[in-house]
Structure 1
Amino acid sequence: MMIVTTEHVAGYEVKDVKGYVKGSTIQTKHIGRDITAGLKGIVGGEIKGYNEMMTEARKLAIHRMVQEAEEKGANGIIGMRMQTSTVMQTAAEIIAYGTAVVIEKKTP
């Protein structure tokens, strides 16, 4: 599955537009990560626990978006974007979305 943030892919042609697709997940904080984050707030530095949590959340949201595109018969997603929002004080939503398309390599 080709996924791009652009509307066009050099060397490829959009043959069919299948429509909007999205994938999302809501992740909550873990008490152990909160303790580490509190300490990092004092001494500074990267909060690796939260970074790992958000990386996994992004992967899951993209995976769900791809599944939806495949169900529509697409082999690509153009105009892909990601967004995050706070759902409650201890939880964040990650959403990946774009346009599912059928693309083919251009022939010379």
Structure 2
Amino acid sequence: MILVNTDYIDGKELNVLSVVKGSIVWSKHIGKDILSGFKTLVGGEIEGYTEMMNEARAIATKRMVNEAEELGADAVVNIRYATSNIMQGAAEVIVYGTAVKYVNK
């Protein structure tokens, strides 16, 4: 499955199938959340939250790909990510794009 953030794929004519999306609300263990809070006192990257967001994006992307595969898509174009803070230590990640099928393979 090809995933791109452009609305085209070079050399391919595309037939639009549908908008597809994947989302997740993800949080870290309370102990890691407390340790990350201490990190804000001294500054720098909060690695626990970076890891949390990377994991959440990967899961949301996989869910979007699964939805596209169910439609028989060859690719998802025009992919966008959005995040929102649900509560301290938890965030929602949503990814969406347009599932397409190649006209000429």
TM-score normalised by the chain length of structure 1 = 0.88
Paired residues of 1:29 and 1:90 also in contact (CA < 8 A): yes
Tell me the alpha carbon deviations over residues 54-108 of structure 1, each in whole angstroms, 9 at most, x when there is no partner: 10100000000000000001010011000011223442110010000012667xx
Identity %: 53
Structure 2: which 5+ runs fail to align? none
Q: What letter matches 1:4 in structure 2?
A: V
Structure 1: which 5+ runs fail to align? none
The residue number in structure 1 matching 2:71 is: 72
CA RMSD of aligned residues (A): 1.6
The residue number in structure 2 matching 1:92 is: 91
- For residues 15-94 of structure 1, the aligned pairs below 5 Å read 16-94=15-93
Structure 2 CA distance for partners of 1:40 and 1:105, relative to 1, 3 Å:
farther
CA–CA separation in structure 2 for the residues paired with 1:103 and 1:68: 17
- Which range moved further: 92-101 or 32-41? 32-41
CA–CA separation in structure 1 for the residues paired with 2:30 and 2:88: 13
Paired residues of 1:18 and 1:99 also in contact (CA < 8 A): yes
| Moved segments of 4+, more than 4 Å | none
User: 1:37, CA displacement in angstroms?
Assistant: 1.5
Paired residues of 2:33 and 2:89 also in contact (CA < 8 A): no
CA–CA separation in structure 2 for the residues paired with 1:52 and 1:72: 31
